[in-house]
Amino acid sequence: MNLIYNSEQYSVVEFGIDDQRDALRSGGYEIVDKPGKREIFIGGILAEAFRKNVEDLIATEPSVEDIDDFLAIYDVLMSQPVILH
């Protein structure tokens, strides 16, 4: 587990590849919307696409606002409330 991004709006934790767990065969990411107090875990094909999109975004030397705007795309998928984090 590795914290790869942390702003006032979002935090993103990366989980490494684990062949023993189906959800982590491609690694995974937990994205937390701090003000909304909700989160999502993405794995599999969605995690692979997320990783690629993050690599492309980083190549543009984005601002914190650019990264937060990118992460906001996942807001509609976030339905898990953050209880304790």
Q: How far apart are CA 47 and CA 14, in angstroms?
A: 10
* Dihedrals phi, psi of 45, to nearest 5 degrees: -60, -40
Segment 14-34, tens digit of pLDDT:
987 666 655 556 678 999 999
30-53 per-position pLDDT tens digit: 999 999 999 999 988 898 899 999
Percent of the chain with pLDDT over 70: 86
Long-range CB contacts (within 8 A, 24+) of 41-44: 41/80, 42/74, 42/77, 43/15
